[in-house]
């Protein structure tokens, strides 16, 4: 038997408090308790005019809370976010608006971005402040840091593009590498190279006409699309501690230095840095090791043709600075090229009659060439650390830390697609998304701490009352006076 619901309640007048309409366990309540958002006033103080005339602007805390709502709940656009706020009492309560207050137009934040926030550090400062709150609360465990990159699909039509000629980007550590190359050449009594004219080196790239700052992303069997890449660092507890954004065709190894430097003081007590195979380069291994950290890297399969000797089968003799081939013949040093590789060549007269030549080289001049990077010793150290059980376990934690951060960001917070166009706006989007993820984590962890403290307090009261009852039983009432029992 069912009961008909009266429709008269739709026009019923009641006296209510907005706070009573928000569920007590709502995540926005925990977020509001976790952090004092008044710090935003100090961050934007210099971005607003002191002139008191005209119509007053929207409260900057409320403005940024609107953006937080969009990224906290993964709402696809600012227009849809405003529609959600209009009908959601919890959202209204969070931004400080009443039931009948007019919600700002969806273009308000965009106008403020163009007029005030563009080309400022406001978004990085908000991210840093929330991260510092996690540090103060003791939630950050930076004994191991995990760094990886993920692609964000650009808001661009993949069929609208053109071919352009651009300057070849300068590699990371290029100036340091050139200095090391010339130093090595002088040791071997060779002339140093003249400075390379980087502006003269140009390459052809595919450029989007919809979002020119994005890059064409192609990886294996994935569909080609224009995208951006967000290189991100997190700690063992999954808190994002650094992020760098660039075009989707920029390799992860080119962005490591930027994201690693953004960690600042957080990495002072770091012991290990876990990175994927894309970061396993001599320059990155050198930076990590010289910074006093241990690189945790995976195995990288040698790119050698089937049936041929692999490079690790050629033994390097450090004392004589030469290589020994599998047939026990010597490959002598010849030169150091511009890419930073020392070249070791065999004697063609020896190779001509070598029984292993079919597995060694197919060159017409019958000469085997083995190269060794001038920073190869750092790669060898990283390989040695790879066999240590402790560091193998740290690398395995990548799937539970940085990979989980990317999965949560894409599934729940709108990190999968770019909602705006341009590199600056993508940096804003990625920075605020990771800030919101940290904010939610702080709120939930503080709630967990309060619940644990409450449980401990309740347990203390139970034990205290139990102990007090036992003490009272020890005393017997005899003639109105308490007497200690000997029983």
**Cβ 346 vs Cβ 371: under 8 Å:** no
Type and span of the H or E element at 440: helix 423-474
What's the burial of 128, exposed, middle or buried (CB within 10 Å: 0-12/13-18/19+)?
middle
Three-point CA angle 195, 197, 201, nearest 5°: 145
- pLDDT tens for 56-112 read 778 899 999 999 999 999 999 999 999 999 999 999 999 999 888 899 999 989 998
Residue 310 CA: distances (Å) to CA of 57, 207, 218, 303, 351: 67, 38, 28, 8, 17
pTM (predicted TM-score)? 0.86
Q: How far apart are the first and last CA of the chain?
A: 65
Tens of pLDDT, residues 307-327: 889 988 899 999 999 999 999
Query: What sections of 197-281 are H helices per DSSP?
Result: 256-261
- Secondary structure tally for the chain: helices H, strands E: 16, 15
What is the tens place of the pLDDT at every residue in 381-439?
999 999 999 999 999 999 899 999 999 999 999 999 999 999 999 999 999 999 999 99
DSSP string, 287-345: HHHHTT-EEE---------TTS--GGGSEEETTTTEEE-TTS-EEEEEEE-TTSEEEEE
Q: Do strands 369-373 and 341-345 pair parallel, antiparallel, or not at all (unpaired)? A: antiparallel
Six token digits for residue 253: 């190894």
Q: Which residue has the tokens 């709108």?
A: 414
Tokens 């790879």, residue located: 386
């Amino acid at each position: 038997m069912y009961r008909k619901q009266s429709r008269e309640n739709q026009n019923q007048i009641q006296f209510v408090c907005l706070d009573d309409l928000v569920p007590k366990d709502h995540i926005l309540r925990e977020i509001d308790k976790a952090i004092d958002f008044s710090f935003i006033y100090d961050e934007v103080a210099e971005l607003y005019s002191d002139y008191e005339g005209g119509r007053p602007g929207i409260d900057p805390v409320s403005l940024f809370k609107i953006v937080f709502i969009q990224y906290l709940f993964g709402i696809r656009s600012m227009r849809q976010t405003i529609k959600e706020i209009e009908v959601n009492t919890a959202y209204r309560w969070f931004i400080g608006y009443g039931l009948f207050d007019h919600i700002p137009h969806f273009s308000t934040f965009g106008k403020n971005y163009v007029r005030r926030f563009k080309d400022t550090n406001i978004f990085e400062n908000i991210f840093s402040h929330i991260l510092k709150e996690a540090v103060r609360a003791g939630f950050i465990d930076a004994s191991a840091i995990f760094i990886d990159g993920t692609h964000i699909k650009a808001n661009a039509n993949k069929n609208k593009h053109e071919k352009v000629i651009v300057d070849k980007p300068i590699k990371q550590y290029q100036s340091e590498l050139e200095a090391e190359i010339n130093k090595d050449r002088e040791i071997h009594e060779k002339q140093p190279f003249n400075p390379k004219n980087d502006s003269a080196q140009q390459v052809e790239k595919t450029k989007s006409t919809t979002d020119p700052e994005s890059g064409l992303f192609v990886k294996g069997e994935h569909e080609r699309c224009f995208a951006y890449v967000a290189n991100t660092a997190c700690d063992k507890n999954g808190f994002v501690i650094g992020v760098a954004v660039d075009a989707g065709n920029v390799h992860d190894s080119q962005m490591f230095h930027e994201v690693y430097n953004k960690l600042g003081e957080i990495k002072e007590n770091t012991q290990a840095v876990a990175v994927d195979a894309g970061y396993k380069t001599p320059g990155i291994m050198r930076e990590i090791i010289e910074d006093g950290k241990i690189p945790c890297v995976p195995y990288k399969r040698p790119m050698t043709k089937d049936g041929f000797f692999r490079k690790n089968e050629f033994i390097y003799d450090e004392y004589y600075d030469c290589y020994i081939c599998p047939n026990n013949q010597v490959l002598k040093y010849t030169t150091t090229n511009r890419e930073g590789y020392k070249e070791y060549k065999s004697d063609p007269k020896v190779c001509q009659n070598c029984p292993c030549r079919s597995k060694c080289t197919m060159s017409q001049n019958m000469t085997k060439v083995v190269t060794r990077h001038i920073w190869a010793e750092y790669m060898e150290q990283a390989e040695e650390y790879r066999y240590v059980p402790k560091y193998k376990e740290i690398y395995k934690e990548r799937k539970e830390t940085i990979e989980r951060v990317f999965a949560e960001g894409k599934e729940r917070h709108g990190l999968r697609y770019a909602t705006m166009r341009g590199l600056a706006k993508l940096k804003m989007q990625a920075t605020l998304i990771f800030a919101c993820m940290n904010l939610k984590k702080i709120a939930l962890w503080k709630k967990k701490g309060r619940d644990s403290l409450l449980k401990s307090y309740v347990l203390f009261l139970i034990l205290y009352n139990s102990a007090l009852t036992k003490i009272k039983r020890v005393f017997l009432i005899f003639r109105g006076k308490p007497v200690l029992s000997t029983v």
